[in-house]
Amino acid sequence: MALVAPFRALYYNPAIITHPEEVVTPPYDVINPQEREAFAALNPYNMVDLILPQPRPGDDHLYNRYTRAAATFRQWQREMVLERDLEPAYYYWETEFEVEGRKYTRKGVVALVRLEPFSSGGIRPHEQTFSAPKADRLELIKATQAHFSPIFAIYPDPEDVVLATLRQNLPSEPMMAFKDSDGYFQRSFRVTERACLAAVRRAFEKMTLYIADGHHRYETALNYQKWMKSRYLQASANASFNYILMYLSNIFDPELVILMAHRLLAGPRVKKVEEGSLFSRAAEYFEVTPLNYPPGSDGPSVDFLQEHLAASSPQETVFILLGYGLRAWRLKLREGVRQKVLAREMHPALAQLDVVVLNYLMFEKVLGLDAKALDDQQTCKFTSKIPEAVDILKRGEASLAFILNPTRVEQVQQVAGAGLTMPRKSTYFYPKVKDGIVLSPINPGEEIIIP
């Protein structure tokens, strides 16, 4: 199925970068402007200068934020701030983190994966994407000729063959070990033993990969591949531009955590929807229950919302609506609606998803939002943090917020396995895979060696 290959990674030179926490960042799409400035101030070699270059007055098609990122990337290599491994490796990676007081250790491996169209079935998406980010990322990859940010993918390995094989061949010392900006511990090892590389590659050949995070970047890599093939007509199938950098984790790992990307709606079209009109239409599909905050509280707490968000069974759809003066309502899908309305319109794997219920019944049927509105990032906003959703409403940057339960990993597999896609931002595999642990340059004349 998928071809998962070892490669010669670029990484920060430990002789120069002695504090990796000063240079490693989250992916570009979760860094706000204030955070970007804070990261840039930590170290002149911080990843934000590569993944999130900033525009300047006077930029044109020859000199702009993308060409500056490319120049910075070349300079860091000349200065040996970034150095490259001499032989191919898989990179075993552990992340220790905490959610709601519980500690987890997620395991994964970083490799190059040969690009395939989704129609081939070897690599499958599970979410729809926005248009604007793909155009932005394509310009960056064209200018820099590198993959800075690993795609996060999951694979079905019930016996944990891949990671167990890698663990048996770990060197005594990690290539990088540090506590990141979120306070989570990151530890990575390079594995170069040839028999191990071949065994891991063979194990992956039997598996389908499901993209967990990074759909925009994968689709961008496909567009870049098409562009490069038009320029290098004689390039082989193993040319480096036919591959993409991926972090791969086992679906069956109990330490795999999915959070929810809660929805916020903004703009004049949503703002003018009257409370009475919304709930009278919503009552056709949902049981609507107003929620009263505890005495003395000035708004919804996380505990309060999670308590009322709890569903009595995995088959039940419940979400919380916040708005109209920061008041709250619990909406529960009426019995029979899923079968009578949703099942007639879509595949059963989609009809079971809370985010699909929300999108189809609330956003489309009740609020009348069309596909163009839902593709507009100014109309439809997302956050995985309930307090941030509340703050956005308080600041008046959105009119309505919808707090949801997380999508389950088996639902991701069912949807992707059926060749379907969920609405945008249906999952948040937590925490995000960091940028700056390993990078992959793209040299059109370089071929990936398959063990």
Residues in contact with 171: Cβ distance below 8 Å, sequence separation at least 6, in sequence order:
189, 190, 191
Does one domain contain both 148 and 267?
Answer: no
Average pLDDT on 136-160 reads: 96
Global confidence as pTM: 0.85
pLDDT (0 to 100) of residue 388: 92
Task: Please tell me the distance from the alpha carbon of residue 362 to that of residue 360, in angstroms, as a whole number.
Answer: 6
Q: How confident is the model at residue 116 (pLDDT cuts 50, 70, 90)?
A: very high
Q: How confident is the model at residue 334 (pLDDT cuts 50, 70, 90)?
A: very high
Residue 118 scores a pLDDT above 80: yes
Does one domain contain both 272 and 361?
Answer: yes
Average pLDDT on 414-426 reads: 80
Average pLDDT on 8-17 reads: 98
In angstroms, the Cα distances linking 360 to 25, 287, 356, 368, 426 are 35, 16, 6, 10, 13
Does one domain contain both 195 and 134?
Answer: yes
pLDDT in tens, 16-55: 999 999 999 999 988 999 999 999 999 999 999 999 999 9
pLDDT in tens, 68-109: 999 999 999 999 999 999 999 999 999 999 998 899 999 999
With H, G, I as helix, E, B as strand and everything else as coil, classify residue 76.
Answer: helix
| DSSP-derived secondary structure for 82-149 | EEE-SS-BEEEEEEEEEETTEEEEEEEEEEEEE---GGGSSEE--B---SHHHHHHHHHHHHH-EE-S
Q: How confident is the model at residue 6 (pLDDT cuts 50, 70, 90)?
A: very high
* Structural domains in the chain (count): 2
Q: How confident is the model at residue 297 (pLDDT cuts 50, 70, 90)?
A: confident
Does one domain contain both 274 and 243?
Answer: no
Does one domain contain both 143 and 52?
Answer: yes
What residue numbers bound the domain in which 292 lies? 261-405
Residue 416 scores a pLDDT above 80: no
pLDDT (0 to 100) of residue 222: 96
pLDDT (0 to 100) of residue 353: 92
Instruction: Flag whether 415 is in a domain.
Output: no
Instruction: Flag whether 450 is in a domain.
Output: no
pLDDT (0 to 100) of residue 424: 78
Q: How confident is the model at residue 67 (pLDDT cuts 50, 70, 90)?
A: very high
Does one domain contain both 394 and 369?
Answer: yes
Residue 130 scores a pLDDT above 80: no
pLDDT in tens, 236-246: 999 999 999 99
Residue with tokens 């491994």: 85
Selected residue with higher pLDDT from 267 and 440: 440
Q: How confident is the model at residue 433 (pLDDT cuts 50, 70, 90)?
A: very high
431: preceding bond cis by omega (within 30 degrees) = yes
Q: What is the CATH number of the domain that holds 369?
A: 3.30.1760
Does one domain contain both 222 and 150?
Answer: yes
Residue type, 381: K
pLDDT (0 to 100) of residue 31: 94
pLDDT (0 to 100) of residue 261: 86
Does one domain contain both 158 and 230?
Answer: yes
Residues in contact with 279: Cβ distance below 8 Å, sequence separation at least 6, in sequence order:
288, 329
Quick count: other Cβ atoms within 10 Å of Cβ 212?
27
pLDDT in tens, 272-292: 999 999 999 999 999 999 999
Average pLDDT on 328-347 reads: 93
pLDDT (0 to 100) of residue 373: 78
Residue 151 scores a pLDDT above 90: yes
Angle, CA of 12, 139 and 426, to the nearest 5°: 85
Average pLDDT on 107-114 reads: 98
With residue 263 as reference, give the H or E element that holds it. strand 262-265
> What is the percent of the chain with per-residue pLDDT over 70, rounded to a whole number?
99
Average pLDDT on 248-275 reads: 92
How is residue 6 written in tokens? 């070892």
pLDDT (0 to 100) of residue 75: 98
Average pLDDT on 225-253 reads: 95
Does one domain contain both 62 and 122?
Answer: yes
Quick count: other Cβ atoms within 10 Å of Cβ 110?
23
Q: How confident is the model at residue 201 (pLDDT cuts 50, 70, 90)?
A: very high
Does one domain contain both 110 and 143?
Answer: yes
Q: How confident is the model at residue 220 (pLDDT cuts 50, 70, 90)?
A: very high
CB-based contact 437:431 (threshold 8 Å): no
Task: Please tell me the distance from the alpha carbon of residue 51 to that of residue 29, in angstroms, as a whole number.
Answer: 9
Does one domain contain both 195 and 102?
Answer: yes
Task: Please tell me the distance from the alpha carbon of residue 29 to that of residue 356, in angstroms, as a whole number.
Answer: 23
Does one domain contain both 18 and 157?
Answer: yes
Residue 215 scores a pLDDT above 90: no
With H, G, I as helix, E, B as strand and everything else as coil, classify residue 198.
Answer: helix
- Mean pLDDT of all residues in the chain? 93
Instruction: Flag whether 349 is in a domain.
Output: yes
